[in-house]
Each structure stands twice: as structure tokens, then as C-alpha cells.
Structure 1
Amino acid sequence: MAGTPERIRLVPLAVSDAEEMVEVLSGADLYTFIGGSAPSLEELRVRYTRQAAGSPDSGQEWHNWIIRTAGGEAVGYVQATITDGGRRAEIAWVVGSRQQGQGYASEAAQALVTWLDGRGVATIEAHIHPRHAASAAVARRVGLLPTERFDDGERLWRRPGDTP
């Protein structure tokens, strides 16, 4: 999937991406708001094997892409879980600590939202920790607004007019 062609490309996740992504995902600060810790190479291979295979739930579609610069460097990932017969998507994005602040997350999230719109997805949502200002800024840039709903300490963001 193309993002902003001169800046990024979204490339479908493959198990072989684990070797490069283990470094991208190594910054402890990435886990301040999302919890957990940096995965080992083996943990990432297992995770990517599961994600690349797709959801075991026939009512869900999993879509995962590596965010790559025009030069091919992996800088993060975006993902969408599509449910409700293709009408609803939960999206997420992570950009490595070293690559943050350069607009990659916003560009990748916008490319993802555009792709979902093209598929006819009616509701696009994200869950964001209330103190995660950078992710909130990305969500706003792609047209999501905070709702009053919280799940596991994270605020639900949704596009205005999308069905709840």
C-alpha cells in the first residue's frame, strides 16, 4: 500500500521483518503508554508468524504493514483489525523511538484510513492512552476525535459521524 510515495511505503508484514523490527521496537519509552516491553527477536518472530497467518476468528480480518521510508528503512508499523462484516476497523500505529517526530506515524495512519475508506469501512476507531499526546495528535490528523468511552484505561477515538 502506498503512503506518501516520496516518503513512505506500507509493506505487508512478513516474518522476515522481525530481524529489522526488533531494533525499531527496542526503545523502552515505546512501552510507556501501551505497556509491555521490547520483544526479543524470537518473540517478534512468533508474533509475526501469528499475525501473518491472519486471525483465527472468521469474524475478524488482521492487516499489518511495516512502515518503510522511501529508502527502504523500517521505521514502525500500522495495523487494522476489521470486524462487523467489514464495517468496523480498530487501527493502531507504532513508530520507533529514533524515528519519531518526523511525521511517519501520521502519514502511515492516513494511508491506512484512506485504504479502509476505499474498502467501505464505515467506522474507524483507535484506543489511545489519555496521556499519550503524540498518538492523540496522529489520531486528530486522520480525523478521529476522543469519545467519552474508556476501555482498559485507554480512551476510544472515532471519526465524527461514524456509527458507534
Structure 2
Amino acid sequence: MSWTRASPIETERLLLEPLRVEHAIEMPPVLSSPELYVFTGGEPPTEDDLRARYLRQVAGQSPSGDSGWLNWIIRRRDARSVVGYVQATVSEQDGALLADAAWVLGVSEQGMGFATEAAGAMLDWLRQQGVSVVIACIHPENRASAGVARRLGFARTERVVNGESVWELRG
């Protein structure tokens, strides 16, 4: 299946740039705080780690071709600085397009509404592409991400995947 490629998205305060391998140079400081990995595990990536990851992700789809990979780097319009990323993995199920969404914001940029603004813009873009259901897997203790999901209209379901609560947004 041929998947739609990410395109630039603009909001009042942010620019969402489709992922490029070159973003690996800018992202390590944004992802350097160990606080970002409390709920997800792992550790801050190096520039080389990100370059390898981004080389895979810019392909735009899974190796098997059964899902599309959409990734954006979030940049502040005022300072032009990179502050995080949003991403969605899109697949088809019973003729409908579904997306698994995620958002990550650098610790210094949290609490200003950027995650809600960026993820909301991505969700609007996904709807325009025909995505009808979006899920987000959020650790039960990650109140900040749960707050973003709630503000965007997601509802927490009873499902749990790998210890994370599944939140769902329809329509």
C-alpha cells in the first residue's frame, strides 16, 4: 500500500516539519533529560542513535509496507528552536484508517501547551487524510500526557498494552 507522506503543518506558535535525517543534529539536547524516560524506559539518544532511527523512519512506511510512518519535528515559530516531536503510525483495518499517535516535548518546553497544540494540529492533519480512529498508549502515571490526551478529546479505555493505558479518539 502507498502511504501519504507527512507535510508541513503550521499553528499559531509552532511549525511541524516532516522528519529529515538532518534533524538528528538538533534533537539530542531536546531529548537529553532522563525525566523523559521515566515512563517509557530507555535513555537519552545520541546524535548517531537518532541518525540511525531517522534513516529508518524517513522511509515513510514499515519494512513490510503494512503501515505508514508519519513523523514531525516541532519547532517554535518565535525562537525557531526545536522543542520535540509528534508521530503517528497509520494502518488500515477493515477498510478504515487507524493511527497510533505519540508526542514528546523537551522538559524545558513542557507546561506551555505546546504538546496539545502540536498533537492537535497533527490530529487535524490525520483527519484530513481520512484517519477515523486514533489511539495513544500512555503510562497510567504519566499525568501530563494523559492531560494532553484528555484536552484533545481522547477517552481512556479499559485496554492495557505493555503496561500502558490505551486512549482512543474517534471521528
So what's the TM-score if we normalise by structure 1?
A: 0.93
Aligned to 2:48: 42
Aligned to 2:4: none
Aligned to 1:64: 71
| Pairing 1:14–2:31 present | no
Cα distance, 1:141 vs. partner? 1.2
User: Partners in 1 of 2:35 and 2:21 — Cα distance?
Assistant: 24
| Pairing 1:27–2:37 present | no
Cα deviation digits, residues 37-94 of structure 1 (max 9, x gap)? 1001111110011111222121100000000110321000000000016610000000
What is the aligned-residue RMSD (CA, Å)?
1.2
User: Partners in 2 of 1:115 and 1:75 — Cα distance?
Assistant: 20
User: Partners in 2 of 1:3 and 1:93 — Cα distance?
Assistant: 16
Q: Which amino acid aligns with 2:85?
A: Y
User: Partners in 1 of 2:9 and 2:131 — Cα distance?
Assistant: 18
Q: 3-state DSSP class of the match of 1:138?
A: helix
1:79 corresponds, among 69, 84, 87, to: 87
Structure 1 residues 10, 86: closer, same or farther in 2, change over 3 A? farther
Partners of 1:66 and 1:77 within 8 A in 2: yes
So what's the TM-score if we normalise by structure 2?
A: 0.90
2:161 corresponds, among 126, 147, 151, to: 151
Segments of 5+ residues of structure 2 without an aligned counterpart are 1-7
Partners of 1:3 and 1:107 within 8 A in 2: no
Structure 1 residues 139, 40: closer, same or farther in 2, change over 3 A? same
1:115-126 equivalences in 2 (<5 Å): 115-126=125-136
User: Partners in 2 of 1:124 and 1:138 — Cα distance?
Assistant: 14
Q: Any runs of at least 4 consecutive aligned residues in structure 1 with deviations exceeding 3 A, and if so which?
A: none
**Larger relative strand fraction:** 2
Q: Which amino acid aligns with 1:57?
A: S
Aligned to 2:139: 129
Segments of 5+ residues of structure 1 without an aligned counterpart are none
What percent identity do the matched residue pairs reach?
A: 49
**Larger relative helix fraction:** 1
